[in-house]
């Protein structure tokens, strides 16, 4: 979504809902940590664009996905305050944030409470309960609670807004913690769920399923903003880093990202994690003997006229695997070419089912 750099010049009476919320965050929220601690928040163009995508049209579920260290926790804290004591607050409303662990939940609460303490206006109207990880605005009777998936129980709540942090860590197609919060929002006329996370590594994981469904556009009230490096890009290039990281070169250190890319290039064991966490790609986090990049380098047809050594390996299947024949050819230049073929005994439907569960492994074999 394009952003008008001069949107503030239109004046409050002409602001959209997203522009109004962006203005409130910049007016009342303070940078909670780092070299600019205590200074007013300055939202970037891409952040304003996503706030407009979220608020300018009716939204039930909003998914924002990008690589790590792009200001996710701070953005969640700003959204919490926006609905606790800002223009999105409703009388008596409950706001929750959901994280996978207590430490992760505490981090979101810490950011939000720091924003309150750093602004005298917010500090006057918001009550901080450090032990309970709660914020309360008595004037509006609104409350915020930081929840974690490893808590004993998360039932009995009725949140108007639920913000989920790092849902990409969920393995499998469903999650009890997410469902407990999601089903608790039914008492409200227009509940809102916001998910901010790096992608899950597999297509069969819950967040991947939700993103794929949102990208189909079947439900206009479910929106997704996906920052991910395209599969056809060089994964170690600066172009790939910029595609997955909107804060690249801003508050995300570009030199550090380039160092991570170079380490992943030199050490194949780090490539899978780099692709998933930094490039925001769906890549299985296990480290195979032959990495994906090395495999793709050997994708050409072998020139048997230049070959003088052949090695054949047969990998038999058990239940949820493929039988594969692998041919390694050594040329006179001492380079290797890999070829493979799946067992003809496998039916197309069974290969298709395994491809759905793990497309990075089975997709090429199915073809």
Mean pLDDT of 221-234: 96
Lowest mean pLDDT among 48-52, 60-64, 244-248, 358-362: 358-362
Whether the CB-CB separation of 21 and 55 falls below 8 Å is answered with: yes
pLDDT, tens digit (0-9, with 9 covering 90-100), for 160-203: 999 999 999 999 999 999 999 999 998 899 999 999 999 999 99
Give the span between the Cα atoms of 311 and 329, in whole angstroms: 6
Strand partners, 65: 197, 226
Mean pLDDT of 297-320: 75
Domain boundaries, the chain: 7-226, 298-367
Of 10 and 50, the one with more pLDDT: 50
What's the pLDDT at 350? 41
| Banded pLDDT at 44 (limits 50, 70, 90) | very high
What's the pLDDT at 106? 93
| Banded pLDDT at 226 (limits 50, 70, 90) | very high
What's the pLDDT at 341? 46
pLDDT at 59 over 60: yes
Strand partners, 24: none
What letter would DSSP give residue 52?
A: H
pLDDT at 365 over 50: no
Of 342 and 106, the one with more pLDDT: 106
pLDDT, tens digit (0-9, with 9 covering 90-100), for 229-241: 999 999 999 999 9
| Banded pLDDT at 152 (limits 50, 70, 90) | low
| Banded pLDDT at 6 (limits 50, 70, 90) | low
Mean pLDDT of 105-133: 95
pLDDT, tens digit (0-9, with 9 covering 90-100), for 246-255: 999 999 999 9
Of 3 and 62, the one with more pLDDT: 62
pLDDT at 14 over 90: no
* Average predicted confidence (pLDDT) for the chain: 86
pLDDT above 90 covers a percentage of the chain that reads 68
Of 12 and 87, the one with more pLDDT: 87
Lowest mean pLDDT among 102-106, 209-213, 287-291: 287-291
| Banded pLDDT at 275 (limits 50, 70, 90) | very high
Angle at 91 (CA atoms; ends 89, 95), nearest 5 degrees: 55
| Banded pLDDT at 327 (limits 50, 70, 90) | confident
Q: Give the neighbor-by-neighbor strand order of the sheet with 192-197.
A: 127-129, 134-137, 142-148, 94-99, 161-165, 192-197, 61-65, 222-226
Mean pLDDT of 210-226: 96
pTM for the model stands at 0.79
What's the pLDDT at 286? 65
Of 301 and 258, the one with more pLDDT: 258
Kindly report the backbone phi and psi dihedral angles of residue 122, in degrees, each rounded to the nearest multiple of 5, phi listed first: -70, -40
Give the span between the Cα atoms of 182 and 175, in whole angstroms: 11
Q: Strand 61-65 to strand 222-226: parallel, antiparallel, or no bridges (unpaired)?
A: parallel
What's the pLDDT at 9? 57
Q: What is the DSSP string of 86-129?
A: STT--TT-EEEEEESSHHHHHHHHHHHHHHHHH-HHHHHH-EEE
| Banded pLDDT at 316 (limits 50, 70, 90) | confident
CATH architecture of the domain with residue range 7-226? 3-Layer(aba) Sandwich (3.40)
Mean pLDDT of 217-246: 96
Which residues, at least 6 apart from 149, have a Cβ–Cβ distance to it below 8 Å? 98, 99, 100, 101, 175, 177
């Amino acid at each position: 979504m394009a952003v008008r750099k001069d949107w503030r010049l239109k004046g409050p009476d002409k602001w959209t809902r997203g522009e109004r919320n962006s203005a409130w965050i910049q007016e009342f929220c303070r940078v909670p940590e780092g070299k600019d601690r205590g200074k007013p928040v300055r939202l970037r163009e891409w952040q304003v664009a996503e706030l407009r995508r979220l608020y300018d049209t009716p939204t039930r579920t909003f998914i924002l996905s990008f690589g790590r260290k792009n200001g996710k926790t701070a953005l969640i804290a700003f959204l919490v305050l926006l609905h606790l004591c800002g223009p999105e607050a409703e009388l008596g409303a409950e706001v929750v944030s959901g994280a996978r662990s207590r430490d992760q939940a505490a981090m979101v609460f810490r950011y939000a409470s720091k924003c309150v303490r750093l602004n005298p206006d917010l500090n006057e109207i918001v009550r901080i309960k450090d032990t309970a990880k709660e914020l309360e605005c008595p004037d509006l009777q609104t409350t915020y609670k930081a929840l974690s998936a490893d808590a004993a129980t998360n039932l009995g709540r009725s949140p108007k807004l639920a913000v989920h942090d790092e849902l990409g860590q969920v393995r499998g197609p469903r999650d009890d913690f997410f469902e407990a919060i999601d089903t608790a929002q039914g008492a409200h006329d227009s509940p809102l769920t916001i998910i901010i996370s790096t992608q899950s590594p597999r297509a069969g994981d819950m967040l991947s399923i939700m993103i794929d469904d949102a990208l189909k556009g079947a439900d206009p009230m479910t929106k997704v903003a996906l920052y991910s490096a395209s599969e056809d890009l060089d994964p170690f290039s600066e172009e790939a880093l910029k595609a997955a990281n909107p804060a690249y070169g801003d508050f995300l250190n570009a030199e550090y990202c380039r160092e991570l890319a170079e380490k992943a290039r030199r050490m194949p064991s780090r490539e899978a994690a780099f692709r998933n966490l930094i490039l925001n790609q769906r890549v299985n986090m296990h480290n195979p003997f032959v990495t994906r990049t090395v495999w793709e380098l050997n994708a050409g047809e072998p020139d048997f006229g230049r070959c003088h050594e052949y090695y054949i390996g047969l990998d038999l299947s058990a239940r949820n695997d493929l039988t594969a024949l692998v041919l390694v050819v050594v040329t006179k230049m001492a380079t290797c070419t890999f070829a493979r073929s799946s067992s003809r005994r496998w039916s197309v439907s069974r290969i298709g089912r395994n491809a759905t569960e793990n497309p990075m492994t089975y997709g090429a074999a199915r073809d």
